[in-house]
Amino acid sequence: MSKKMNMEFLTALASQAGELVLKCHFEPEKMGIEWKADQTPLTVADRGVRDLVNINMLERFPHIPVIGEEAQLGKRTGADDEEWMLVDEVDGTWAYMLQVPVYSCLFAVMRGNQPVMSAIVDPVGKRLYTAERGAGAFRNGKRITTTEFAHTQKTPAVGFVSWPHRNHPSDMLVKGLVHDVVVGIHEMGAMPVSMITIGYLDAMVADGRLAGSIFPAGSMHDTAAGHLLVEEAGGVATNLLGEPLEYSGTKLFGHIFAGNPDM
């Protein structure tokens, strides 16, 4: 049995997660909603994907640490060539809870301080986005680029997420600057699109449907999967200050993804 993670395993895991999450989309009474300490919702889908990941990783790759939004399995050593995984079981739980079909499941396999494989699954749209370092980005097995739909967009759109209570320096959109960000996007000739799920927006950037995405919070599990997907689709990924993204600590200074450097 191979000790190294592979795309076949990651793709299968993401697909299973998407199917699990979709089961309760049309039956909100079965979502089993609880509230975490930060007053964000936790559903049966979050718990189900957490358990799915833990069971599969313990069976196939017990030596690979997993850092998820809802749980941690193992512990990172910090070695330059260490493999580890970041997971956001349901990104956009608010949307999921409200049956708004713009949520996703995010997976990123890391090597050292950078993502080398990733998967973002859109359960309702039945779209599975995957990327591997140096091998391109794909939607349901078809190669995608950040410019795929550019010729059809008279006005480019930029997605952003504003989150109310993370108490982290990168939460700049909640400190009186939401208006400035919206005005700035308009002034650059683009349309601001606000959602409560960043993975979905990042996948749309990689797919060329959005020109860019802005995320003010510092959670690594919200960033890594889209980071690799966008770069492998030909786009640009930085933190909010325009600096390279790297994952040596426990927080990032937000992220900005764009289809090209000019944007």
* Digit-coded pLDDT (tens) for 139-196: 999 999 998 876 677 789 999 887 655 555 555 555 567 778 888 889 988 899 988 8
Q: How far is CA 27 from the centre of its chain?
A: 25
Give the residue, 167 or 210, on which the prediction is more confident: 210
Sequence-distant (≥ 6) Cβ neighbours of residue 105 within 8 angstroms:
14, 17, 18, 21, 49, 87, 88, 89, 90, 91, 120, 121, 123, 199
Name which of 32, 14, 194, 27 is nearest 104 in CA terms.
14
Among 15-19, 77-81, 148-152, the minimum mean pLDDT is found in 148-152
Q: What is the largest CA-CA distance in the chain?
A: 55
Question: Averaged over 117-140, what is the pLDDT?
Answer: 97
Model pLDDT, residue 30: 84
Structure-token match 């950040």, residue found: 146
* pTM for this model (two decimals): 0.92
User: How do 212-215 and 157-160 pair as beta strands?
Assistant: parallel
What is the tens place of the pLDDT at every residue in 87-122?
999 999 888 888 889 999 999 999 999 999 999 999
Structure-token match 């069971």, residue found: 55
Model pLDDT, residue 176: 63
- Return the bridge partners of 258, or none: 212, 236
pLDDT band at 11 (very low <50, low <70, confident <90, very high): very high
CB atoms within 10 A of CB 261: 8
Residue type, position 133, single letter: R
Model pLDDT, residue 261: 87
Which 3 state secondary structure label does DSSP give 126? coil
Model pLDDT, residue 171: 55
Give buried/exposed letters for 136-159 (b at 16+ CB in 10 A, else e): ebbbeeeebbbebeeeeeeebbbb
Sequence-distant (≥ 6) Cβ neighbours of residue 240 within 8 angstroms:
170, 172, 214, 216, 253, 254, 255, 256
Sequence-distant (≥ 6) Cβ neighbours of residue 64 within 8 angstroms:
5, 57, 74, 83, 84, 85
Percentage above 90 pLDDT, the chain: 59
Model pLDDT, residue 167: 56
Model pLDDT, residue 94: 86
Model pLDDT, residue 262: 84
